[in-house]
Amino acid sequence: MSQGADVRVRPKETEHEIDEKGYFVRQKNRFTTPFGDGEGRLPVEAGRYRLIWAKGCHWSNRASIVRELLGLEEAISINLVGRGQHEQNLGWEFIYDENNTDPVLGVQFLSELYANSDPNYQGRPTVPAVIDITTKQVVNNDYVWLTNYLENEFAPFHKEGAPDLYPALLRAEIDKYNDFLFDNVNNGVYKAMFGQSIEAYNDAFEHLYAALDSIEERLETNRFLFGDYVTDSDVRLFVTLARFDTYYFKNLGPIRNRIVDFNNIWGYARDLYEIPAFKNNTYLRDLAKSNGNKDTIFIDYNTRFWNQIDYEGLWSQPHNRKEKSSDPENKFKIV
Catalytic: which of 23, 49, 57, 143? 57
Active site residue 190: yes
Q: Measured at the alpha carbon of residue 225, what is the angle toward residues 220 and 229, in degrees to the nearest 5?
A: 110
Alpha-helical segments (H) within the chain: 13-16, 58-69, 110-117, 146-151, 171-181, 188-194, 198-218, 232-244, 263-273, 276-280, 284-288, 301-305, 311-315
Count other Cβ atoms within 10 Å, centred on residue 82.
14
CA–CA separation, 328 and 313 (whole Å): 23
Cβ contact 269:240 at 8 Å: no
- Compute the half-sphere exposure of residue 163: CA atoms within 13 Å on the CB side of its CA: 22
Catalytic: which of 143, 190, 229, 311? 190
The string of DSSP codes covering 121-139 is --S---SSEEEETTTTEEE
**Inter-axis angle of helices 263-273 and 232-244, to 10 degrees?**
110
> Which residues does the annotation mark as catalytic?
57, 190
